[in-house]
A = this chain, B = another copy of it.
Amino acid sequence: MVGKEISQAVIRRMPRYYRYLGELLDEGVERISSNELSSRMQVTASQIRQDLNNFGGFGQQGYGYNVKYLYEEIGKILGLNEKHNIIVIGAGNLGQALANYVKFEKLGFVIIGLFDVNPALKGTLVRGIEVRMLDELADFVKDHKVDIATLTMPKEAADSVADLVVSLGIHAIWNFAHVDLQVLDENVVVENVHLSDSLMQLSYNIVKSHTKE
Protein backbone atom coordinates (compact mmCIF):
# COMPACT_ATOMS: atom_id res chain seq x y z
CA MET A 1 0.00 0.00 0.00
CA VAL A 2 2.89 2.30 0.84
CA GLY A 3 4.20 3.92 -2.32
CA LYS A 4 0.76 4.59 -3.81
CA GLU A 5 0.48 8.24 -4.87
CA ILE A 6 -1.42 10.08 -2.17
CA SER A 7 -1.82 13.84 -1.95
CA GLN A 8 0.46 15.73 0.42
CA ALA A 9 -2.66 17.29 2.00
CA VAL A 10 -3.76 13.82 3.16
CA ILE A 11 -0.23 13.01 4.31
CA ARG A 12 -0.05 16.21 6.31
CA ARG A 13 -3.09 15.04 8.30
CA MET A 14 -1.72 11.56 9.05
CA PRO A 15 0.65 12.52 11.89
CA ARG A 16 -2.31 14.12 13.65
CA TYR A 17 -4.34 10.90 13.39
CA TYR A 18 -1.33 9.05 14.71
CA ARG A 19 -1.02 11.43 17.64
CA TYR A 20 -4.71 11.18 18.60
CA LEU A 21 -4.76 7.40 18.24
CA GLY A 22 -1.67 7.22 20.47
CA GLU A 23 -3.52 9.23 23.12
CA LEU A 24 -6.55 6.91 22.85
CA LEU A 25 -4.25 3.91 23.28
CA ASP A 26 -2.71 5.52 26.37
CA GLU A 27 -6.24 5.95 27.75
CA GLY A 28 -6.96 2.27 27.14
CA VAL A 29 -9.56 2.85 24.41
CA GLU A 30 -9.71 -0.22 22.16
CA ARG A 31 -12.30 0.74 19.59
CA ILE A 32 -13.62 4.07 18.28
CA SER A 33 -16.28 5.07 15.76
CA SER A 34 -15.45 7.62 13.08
CA ASN A 35 -18.04 9.89 14.75
CA GLU A 36 -16.31 9.79 18.12
CA LEU A 37 -12.89 10.28 16.50
CA SER A 38 -14.41 13.13 14.51
CA SER A 39 -15.68 15.03 17.55
CA ARG A 40 -12.39 14.49 19.34
CA MET A 41 -10.23 15.68 16.44
CA GLN A 42 -12.67 18.36 15.29
CA VAL A 43 -12.72 17.20 11.68
CA THR A 44 -15.78 15.71 9.96
CA ALA A 45 -16.37 11.96 10.11
CA SER A 46 -16.58 11.95 6.33
CA GLN A 47 -13.12 13.54 6.11
CA ILE A 48 -11.75 10.80 8.36
CA ARG A 49 -13.33 8.04 6.26
CA GLN A 50 -12.07 9.64 3.05
CA ASP A 51 -8.54 10.08 4.39
CA LEU A 52 -8.30 6.51 5.65
CA ASN A 53 -9.84 5.10 2.47
CA ASN A 54 -6.71 6.30 0.67
CA PHE A 55 -4.90 3.52 2.46
CA GLY A 56 -7.59 0.89 2.12
CA GLY A 57 -10.03 1.80 4.87
CA PHE A 58 -9.31 -0.01 8.18
CA GLY A 59 -12.88 0.31 9.44
CA GLN A 60 -15.93 -1.89 9.35
CA GLN A 61 -19.32 -0.26 8.86
CA GLY A 62 -21.07 0.13 12.22
CA TYR A 63 -18.19 -1.40 14.09
CA GLY A 64 -15.67 1.43 14.20
CA TYR A 65 -11.91 1.33 14.14
CA ASN A 66 -9.64 -0.92 16.16
CA VAL A 67 -7.45 1.76 17.76
CA LYS A 68 -4.28 -0.31 18.13
CA TYR A 69 -4.49 -1.72 14.61
CA LEU A 70 -5.16 1.68 13.06
CA TYR A 71 -2.36 3.26 15.11
CA GLU A 72 0.11 0.64 13.94
CA GLU A 73 -0.99 0.79 10.31
CA ILE A 74 -0.71 4.58 10.17
CA GLY A 75 2.67 4.20 11.86
CA LYS A 76 3.77 1.90 9.02
CA ILE A 77 2.44 4.32 6.40
CA LEU A 78 4.49 7.07 8.04
CA GLY A 79 7.58 4.86 8.13
CA LEU A 80 7.60 4.72 11.93
CA ASN A 81 8.08 0.94 12.01
CA GLU A 82 11.73 1.61 11.14
CA LYS A 83 14.31 3.43 13.24
CA HIS A 84 15.69 6.64 11.72
CA ASN A 85 19.12 7.88 12.71
CA ILE A 86 19.37 11.65 12.78
CA ILE A 87 22.24 14.07 12.99
CA VAL A 88 21.80 17.73 13.88
CA ILE A 89 24.09 20.26 12.23
CA GLY A 90 24.17 23.47 14.22
CA ALA A 91 24.48 22.84 17.95
CA GLY A 92 23.18 26.21 19.14
CA ASN A 93 20.03 26.59 21.21
CA LEU A 94 17.68 25.14 18.62
CA GLY A 95 19.98 22.21 17.81
CA GLN A 96 20.33 21.45 21.51
CA ALA A 97 16.57 21.79 22.02
CA LEU A 98 15.96 19.24 19.27
CA ALA A 99 18.58 16.89 20.72
CA ASN A 100 16.76 17.10 24.05
CA TYR A 101 13.31 16.20 22.67
CA VAL A 102 12.84 12.69 24.06
CA LYS A 103 9.53 12.55 22.21
CA PHE A 104 11.31 12.08 18.86
CA GLU A 105 13.08 8.99 20.16
CA LYS A 106 9.78 7.42 21.14
CA LEU A 107 8.73 7.78 17.50
CA GLY A 108 11.90 6.02 16.33
CA PHE A 109 13.90 9.13 15.43
CA VAL A 110 17.19 8.76 17.25
CA ILE A 111 19.68 11.62 17.31
CA ILE A 112 23.12 10.06 17.01
CA GLY A 113 25.30 13.08 16.31
CA LEU A 114 25.58 16.83 16.79
CA PHE A 115 27.84 19.00 14.65
CA ASP A 116 28.91 22.63 14.65
CA VAL A 117 31.66 24.85 13.26
CA ASN A 118 32.23 26.71 16.53
CA PRO A 119 35.35 25.24 18.23
CA ALA A 120 34.04 26.46 21.61
CA LEU A 121 31.29 23.82 21.40
CA LYS A 122 33.58 20.92 20.53
CA GLY A 123 33.16 18.09 23.02
CA THR A 124 30.10 19.60 24.75
CA LEU A 125 27.66 16.87 25.75
CA VAL A 126 23.93 17.24 25.05
CA ARG A 127 21.92 14.38 26.52
CA GLY A 128 25.09 12.28 26.26
CA ILE A 129 25.71 13.22 22.63
CA GLU A 130 29.07 14.84 21.94
CA VAL A 131 29.25 17.92 19.73
CA ARG A 132 31.69 17.24 16.88
CA MET A 133 33.18 19.65 14.37
CA LEU A 134 31.62 19.74 10.90
CA ASP A 135 34.88 18.61 9.28
CA GLU A 136 34.50 15.30 11.14
CA LEU A 137 31.17 14.63 9.40
CA ALA A 138 32.58 12.71 6.42
CA ASP A 139 34.30 10.22 8.72
CA PHE A 140 31.25 9.98 10.97
CA VAL A 141 29.01 9.09 8.04
CA LYS A 142 31.42 6.28 7.03
CA ASP A 143 31.04 4.70 10.47
CA HIS A 144 27.34 5.40 11.13
CA LYS A 145 24.13 4.99 9.17
CA VAL A 146 22.63 8.48 8.96
CA ASP A 147 19.08 8.73 7.61
CA ILE A 148 18.22 12.36 8.25
CA ALA A 149 20.33 15.53 8.56
CA THR A 150 18.72 18.35 10.54
CA LEU A 151 19.97 21.81 9.64
CA THR A 152 19.73 24.60 12.22
CA MET A 153 22.50 26.93 11.04
CA PRO A 154 22.05 30.49 9.66
CA LYS A 155 20.51 30.60 6.21
CA GLU A 156 23.70 31.87 4.55
CA ALA A 157 25.39 28.52 5.26
CA ALA A 158 22.40 26.24 4.71
CA ASP A 159 22.70 25.58 0.97
CA SER A 160 26.37 24.64 1.14
CA VAL A 161 25.83 22.38 4.17
CA ALA A 162 22.89 20.77 2.33
CA ASP A 163 25.17 20.11 -0.64
CA LEU A 164 27.74 18.59 1.71
CA VAL A 165 25.32 16.17 3.40
CA VAL A 166 23.86 15.11 0.04
CA SER A 167 27.38 14.50 -1.32
CA LEU A 168 27.99 12.25 1.70
CA GLY A 169 24.97 10.13 0.75
CA ILE A 170 22.36 11.47 3.19
CA HIS A 171 19.01 11.57 1.39
CA ALA A 172 16.71 13.36 3.80
CA ILE A 173 16.99 16.88 5.21
CA TRP A 174 14.94 18.45 7.98
CA ASN A 175 15.64 22.14 7.50
CA PHE A 176 15.15 24.87 10.10
CA ALA A 177 17.34 27.47 8.36
CA HIS A 178 15.29 30.47 7.16
CA VAL A 179 15.40 29.50 3.51
CA ASP A 180 13.64 27.03 1.24
CA LEU A 181 16.52 24.72 0.41
CA GLN A 182 17.27 24.33 -3.27
CA VAL A 183 18.28 20.68 -3.51
CA LEU A 184 18.36 19.64 -7.12
CA ASP A 185 18.85 15.90 -6.53
CA GLU A 186 15.35 14.44 -6.90
CA ASN A 187 16.24 11.48 -4.66
CA VAL A 188 16.68 13.83 -1.72
CA VAL A 189 13.61 14.64 0.35
CA VAL A 190 13.45 17.95 2.20
CA GLU A 191 11.08 19.15 4.89
CA ASN A 192 11.37 22.88 5.59
CA VAL A 193 10.22 24.16 8.99
CA HIS A 194 9.74 27.92 9.00
CA LEU A 195 8.93 28.99 12.54
CA SER A 196 8.52 32.61 11.51
CA ASP A 197 5.90 31.61 8.91
CA SER A 198 3.80 30.11 11.67
CA LEU A 199 4.24 33.26 13.76
CA MET A 200 3.07 35.38 10.81
CA GLN A 201 0.02 33.17 10.39
CA LEU A 202 -0.79 33.70 14.05
CA SER A 203 -0.36 37.43 13.60
CA TYR A 204 -2.75 37.40 10.60
CA ASN A 205 -5.36 35.67 12.74
CA ILE A 206 -4.84 38.22 15.53
CA VAL A 207 -5.53 41.08 13.10
CA LYS A 208 -8.54 39.23 11.71
CA SER A 209 -9.98 38.60 15.19
CA HIS A 210 -9.57 42.31 16.05
CA THR A 211 -11.41 43.44 12.93
CA LYS A 212 -14.25 41.04 13.82
CA GLU A 213 -14.78 42.59 17.22
Interface residues of A, Cβ cutoff 8 Å to B: 2-3, 11-12, 14-16, 18-19, 77-80, 82, 84, 92-94, 96-98, 100-101, 103-104, 107, 109, 147-148, 171-172, 174, 178, 180, 187, 189, 191, 193-209, 211-213
Q: Which residues of B contact A208 (CB under 8 A)?
A: 2-3
Q: Which residues of B contact A16 (CB under 8 A)?
A: 180, 194, 197
A42 CB, nearest partner CB in chain B, Å: 8
Query: Are A204 and B93 in contact (CB-based, < 8 A)?
Result: no
Query: Are A109 and B199 in contact (CB-based, < 8 A)?
Result: yes
Q: Which residues of B contact A205 (CB under 8 A)?
A: 11, 172, 189, 191
User: 23 A-B contacts, Cβ less than 8 Å apart?
Assistant: A2-B207, A3-B212, A11-B204, A12-B201, A15-B198, A15-B201, A19-B194, A77-B204, A78-B203, A79-B206, A82-B207, A84-B206, A92-B100, A93-B93, A93-B97, A97-B97, A104-B199, A107-B196, A109-B199, A148-B206, A187-B209, A191-B201, A191-B202
A206/B147 contact (C-beta < 8 A), A93-B100, A97-B93 known = yes
A84/B203 contact (C-beta < 8 A), A19-B194, A103-B196 known = yes
Query: Are A199 and B211 in contact (CB-based, < 8 A)?
Result: no
CA distance A97 to B92 in the complex (A): 8
Question: Taking CB as reference atom, which chain B residue is nearest A76?
Answer: B207
Query: Are B174 and A198 in contact (CB-based, < 8 A)?
Result: yes
Query: Are A204 and B103 in contact (CB-based, < 8 A)?
Result: no
CA distance A60 to B178 in the complex (A): 30
